[in-house]
Amino acid sequence: MHPEEYETLVHENSWKQLETRPYLWGTFVWNMFDFAADGRAEGDTLGRNDKGLVTYDRAVRKDAFYWYKANWTTTSFVHLTSARWTDRTVAATTVKAYGDAVDAVSVTVNGVAAGPPTTSSDHIYTWPVTLAPGANVVTVSGTRGGHVYTDTATWTLKS
């Protein structure tokens, strides 16, 4: 199994290491798209390497894709990470978002503001939150130049 959250942590931490080494003349991201690998018997699908930034069918940009977007472009956006991990079993969790909507970034859970984020120089915003039993609507919002950017997911806390 290759959880998207693990892939994202690998990319975040690898980049931090590469960034501290200006003498490297080339660095490369592995890999833009999931791809066929006949002998592969691990991950989400037999015969597929699922460590790309985008799914095999090119339909889903994974969280790590948005981390690079936040750091390598000036396009304004916010992206709620772990949005596809919808069934939760622990109430205390961390909401993490990427973005380049730098005037202000906030998160609400079921309409209640979670307070100011912890931020990093890598466009990563985090908030500690507690989910309620049942459905929880998590919304991250960011503003830049008077424009509001949002991303939303529903996480269900199972008892």
What pLDDT is attached to residue 101?
A: 73
What's the whole-model pTM score?
Answer: 0.92
Residues 12 and 34 in one domain: yes
Residues 84 and 152 in one domain: yes
Beta strands in 27-133 (DSSP E): 35-36, 48-49, 78-80, 87-88, 92-99, 104-109, 112-113, 118-119, 124-130
- Token pair of 121, please? 């120089």
Residues 114 and 150 in one domain: yes
Q: What's the total number of domains in the chain?
A: 2
Angle between helices 63-72 and 4-19 (to 10 degrees): 30
Burial letters 136-151, b for 16+ CB under 10 A, else e: bebbbbbbbeeeebeb
SS3 1: coil
Percentage, residues of the chain above pLDDT 90: 76
User: Among 71, 100, 117, which residue terminates a domain?
Assistant: 71
Q: What is the pLDDT of residues 62-108, one digit of tens each?
A: 999 999 999 999 899 999 999 999 999 999 999 999 998 778 899 99
The chain-wide mean pLDDT, for the chain, equals: 93
Cβ-based neighbour number of residue 33 at 10 Å:
13
Residues 95 and 150 in one domain: yes
